A and B are shown apart, each in its own frame.
Chain A
Amino acid sequence: MKKRISLVLAMMMLALCVFAAVPAMAEKTVITYWSNDRHDETYMNEVIAKFNAEHEDIEINMVIMTDDFENSILLAIDGGTAPDIVGQSVTLKNMVDYDAVVDLAPYIAADEEYQKVNDPYNHKYEGLNAIGDAIYWVPSGQRSGVRIEYNKALLEASGFEGIPSTLPEYIEMAKKITEDGKANDPVTYGIGFTSSSPFERQLEMMAQVSGVFYYDYANGKFDFTGYKPFLEAGRELVAVAYPDQQGVDNMRAQFAAGSFALWGNASQEAGVFTNQFPVEGFEWGVSPVPSLDGEIKGALQVNPNKGYLMLNACQNKDAAWEVIRYLQSEEVLVGYMEGGFDLPITSYIDERIDKSKMGRMADFSLLPYESVYPAVPTINLMGDDYRTVLWNAIMGHVEIDEAIEDLNTRYNAAYDEDVSLGFIKRLVIEDYDALHPSAGTVTWLDK
């Protein structure tokens, strides 16, 4: 009996030793990465699983946080639960002022392979991903400017072949399709708007290509006056639009179901209408947004994206850099672009991808007049932002002139105060060209 007990005890001890030893053997440095992209989740999980399998010393733990991203990061930093790496959808100035992010310039300078693939020095945008010599993230790709995605069947049924080049014609087209749609069962509409930043998704971009932008770079001040004709046009469009303005995914689903003909959004819709809400039963087209009079007078804004910021709270910065350079390696980026998740931003990647694999993303290839805009200074604004106020004007909740005056007053007052207190400097580009917004000479003024 005693022998048996001894044997059992010995086996238990052995088991304990083995279990205790296992974590020690498998101990890896875990690098937590917070992303706010859901559309590429499957692909990212695949490449991360590959990395984790190939690396004995580092493990990537990706967490997708799509709501209130910046606040969540700042709260996590305060609470001591910050991740090591975060996606680029944050206000850079706030993160830098909070001393939350690491300057990646030294890592980049020491990494020739990274420089070759990502071309970081030619994709350094003041205020967007860099401040002075410091580089906080480098874009892996870019999102196109807004396009009009349209239901070809509904357009053809109303006698249209494509999207017109002027805004008045575009409004007439929406009206005609809505009128004709009354005979359908269920009723169909000319255009649809979402409740999530609706002004940005069509009318603001039509204003951009018409040469209207909310920041007057030449004079270093905010100016919303030029939006007036677009707000009036918006009122006409809303009057014939799909009656609800629901969340963006709900409205995408409505477009995919054929409830309305015209929808505005950028290149992410390539994946959305192929995988998330596959359009079946009709063909859908992609077209540039119309301008006010058909003439292109300003650049359409593109957004460099899919960048990675390293947080100061990271305890294993070298390992975090290893993760960033993997996620921005040729191997990962080629698959990412070919998967149709984004558009390439460097010629190095552009030359290496098989564009036939990009699916509908090819329809969103950059137009000659698309460009990155210099980052507008981040101001401490009290009250509603301009997109909300302008949309409220379109919806008739506030008068158009009143809305414009309110924005001009509040934005410039906040800007003047922030400049006078030394929190920010005034951005002036005297030789600003609306068609080439990044080409001018940037000056930063103290007053």
Chain B
Amino acid sequence: MTTKPYVNPQLAPTNRPPRPVNKKMRLKESGGLASGFMLAPSIIFLAICSVYPFIWIFRYVTFNYDGIPAHTRFTGMRNITTMLADTKFWSSVGTTFEYALWKLIFIIPLALIMAVLLNQKLRGSSFFRGVFFMPTVISSSISGMIFTFIFATGNGILNGILQKLGFIGQPVGWLTDTSVVMAAVIIMSVWAGFGNYMLYFVTGMTSISEDVYESSRIDGANGVQTFFKITLPMLAPVLKVVLMLAITGAFKDYEAIMVLTNGGPGTRTNVMFLYIYNLIFGTGANATRQIGYGALLSLVAAVIVGAVTIVYNIVAQKLDEVV
């Protein structure tokens, strides 16, 4: 016996010609209109707050502009040739890479270690989690101010402690000696930032099933093995995000450095965005606001940060393939 497959009469093909559908109706039926309305506020906001300022920056790249329209003048390629010969800018780029590298070397392992320790079911771990996170909510300029007192040479807290403990005989010029000032800046930035990354790691760890740990314990894995064979691999997605945030964050840091050293002594801690900030606002050592030139450097800095991020993404993808 052959059976005829059931066909829903409502869905069965008919000989009737298809109903003409105009664009308006299609849009209405697909819900495009509603989506458009709902997206409109965000798009408008994005256009005003992100796209327009970006275009605005482009506008002044070839101008000498100090914020006063009467002083504006077209300078053609001069900003670009100035940039190519601007040793102070390129030195600030180098300083930024140095700062970012040292910061990442210390902040990520520290945040991870603290997260692992605080993820243990120990008494007071919530309290310490709060304590370590606290610097993150303090404004960068306040952090800079606090560390000015800590790192002061003559009456600084750190030198006082180190001298009392007998580690140093003479006070160290944390903020005045070019050989140690970068260490001071790194200490401050690690203190101010690691709590945030630690929290990401703690959140990532809580999502790892307890069953996995229990199985590893049954198999006789010790703490180190558990960390490297279970915790770390399972944290990989979080680690990737944290690394990405840490890299972009380190390259963009400048506020606390501005308060702590203002790029000095000399230009030893003059990071890229601090140099650009001072150019645009005519602050620091700059006699006049250089908005046009600063706009060009902002674009170059964005390209540098973007390039670093792309390189990181490629490396991360390759690592994924290997692992």
Contact: B290 with A382, CB < 8 Å? yes
The docked-state distance in angstroms from the alpha carbon of A140 to that of B292 is 37
The docked-state distance in angstroms from the alpha carbon of A244 to that of B64 is 37
Q: Does A66 contact B (CB under 8 A)?
A: no
Q: Which residue of A lies closest to B259 (CB)?
A: A247
CB distance from A49 to the nearest CB of B (A): 32
The docked-state distance in angstroms from the alpha carbon of A246 to that of B69 is 37
Contact: B285 with A388, CB < 8 Å? yes
The docked-state distance in angstroms from the alpha carbon of A371 to that of B173 is 39
Contact: B265 with A246, CB < 8 Å? no
Q: Does A98 contact B (CB under 8 A)?
A: yes
CB distance from A384 to the nearest CB of B (A): 4
- Beyond A71-B282, A382-B293, A383-B88, whether A243 also contacts B288 by CB under 8 A is no
Contact: A242 with B71, CB < 8 Å? no
Contact: B70 with A254, CB < 8 Å? no
Q: How large is the interface on B (under 10, 10 to 19, 20 to 34, 35 or more residues)?
A: 35 or more
Q: Mark B45-63, 1 if CB is under 8 A from A, else 0.
A: 0000000000000000000
Q: Which of A71, A187, A259, A381 contacts B281 (CB 8 A)?
A: A71
- For B293, the chain A residues whose CB sits under 8 A away are 382
Q: Does A54 contact B (CB under 8 A)?
A: no
Q: Which of B67, B154, B178 contacts A242 (CB 8 A)?
A: B154
The docked-state distance in angstroms from the alpha carbon of A293 to that of B287 is 31
Contact: A195 with B68, CB < 8 Å? no
Q: Mark B167-191, 1 if CB is under 8 A from A, else 0.
A: 0000101011010000000000000
Q: Which of B71, B156, B176, B281 contacts A97 (CB 8 A)?
A: B71
Contact: A397 with B267, CB < 8 Å? yes
Q: Does A385 contact B (CB under 8 A)?
A: yes
- Beyond A380-B71, A382-B293, whether A244 also contacts B287 by CB under 8 A is no
The docked-state distance in angstroms from the alpha carbon of A250 to that of B288 is 27
Contact: B262 with A195, CB < 8 Å? yes
Q: Which residue of A lies closest to B173 (CB)?
A: A243
- For B264, the chain A residues whose CB sits under 8 A away are 195
The docked-state distance in angstroms from the alpha carbon of A369 to that of B171 is 42
Contact: B70 with A385, CB < 8 Å? no
The docked-state distance in angstroms from the alpha carbon of A71 to that of B148 is 26
Q: Mark B262-292, 1 if CB is under 8 A from A, else 0.
A: 1011110000000000000111111111100
Q: Which residue of A lies closest to B293 (CB)?
A: A382
- For A250, the chain B residues whose CB sits under 8 A away are 148, 152
Contact: A68 with B283, CB < 8 Å? yes
Q: Does B313 contact A (CB under 8 A)?
A: no
- Beyond A379-B288, A381-B287, whether A244 also contacts B265 by CB under 8 A is no
Please list 29 pairs of residues, one from A and one from B, whose beta carbons are closer than 8 Å in the complex, sorted by A's number.
A71-B67, A71-B289, A94-B68, A97-B68, A97-B71, A186-B154, A186-B155, A187-B154, A243-B176, A244-B153, A244-B175, A245-B176, A246-B148, A246-B152, A247-B148, A250-B152, A254-B154, A379-B288, A380-B66, A380-B288, A381-B288, A382-B82, A382-B293, A385-B285, A387-B285, A388-B284, A395-B266, A397-B265, A397-B267
Given A68-B283, A381-B287, list of 19 further CB < 8 A pairs? A68-B281, A94-B66, A98-B69, A187-B154, A195-B262, A244-B152, A244-B154, A246-B148, A254-B155, A259-B154, A379-B287, A380-B66, A380-B288, A383-B88, A384-B285, A385-B287, A392-B266, A395-B265, A397-B178
